[in-house]
Amino acid sequence: MRIALLFLLCLECSGQVTSLFTFDERYLGTSVMPFLELPVGARSAGLGGNGVSLLDDPSVVFLNPACMAGIADNGVLFSHEEMYFGLRHEYAGWMHPTFRYGTFGAQWNMLRSGDIQNARDIDEKPVSASTADMSLGAAYAKGLLDNHLLLGFNLQFLQSRPGFRFPSAPR
């Protein structure tokens, strides 16, 4: 068990060190898909997105999967947020703790725009365009050493669709 923990610690440290030398300096501190930085759920948004270690609802599946190991109840969370300029932020999260195998979770997170006014295609014809960014993920967490050490990870599928067109009824 100690060898496995030491291996995971070394793996995490090596990932941090290589990330320091991999990217150009002008890209440090930026996000490829900034919608992933938006808080999910009302409680997280109310805390300004800063309460990732205080949360005990299914928003931790996305924000901090290790916290799932400290929660003993099943949970489902649906969140819908109407933002400025017609943006909509949707989130759905689920977690299921088991006594023996740890806690399992799944999440869906989406940011999409309404119709972009006065959008035109390459031939200058009016089009009904929108954008959509989505993440779909699965998470796992396990408490070790009488829950003094919580380990968690998530795997995410990310998709960005600029110029996405929602199907419309024929006119």
pLDDT at position 20: 45
Check residue 4 and report its DSSP letter. H
Residue for token digits 């995490």? 12
**Rounded to an integer, what distance in angstroms lies between the CA atom of residue 11 and that of residue 68?**
22
**Rounded to an integer, what distance in angstroms lies between the CA atom of residue 132 and that of residue 112?**
4
pTM for the complete prediction? 0.69
**Rounded to an integer, what distance in angstroms lies between the CA atom of residue 135 and that of residue 47?**
22
Over the stretch 56-67, which tens digit does the pLDDT of each residue have? 788 888 888 888
How far the first Cα of the chain sits from its last, in Å, is: 65
Q: 102-112 and 75-82 as β-strands: parallel, antiparallel, unpaired?
A: unpaired
pLDDT at position 42: 78
Identify the segments of the chain with pLDDT beneath 50. Answer: 15-21, 166-169, 171
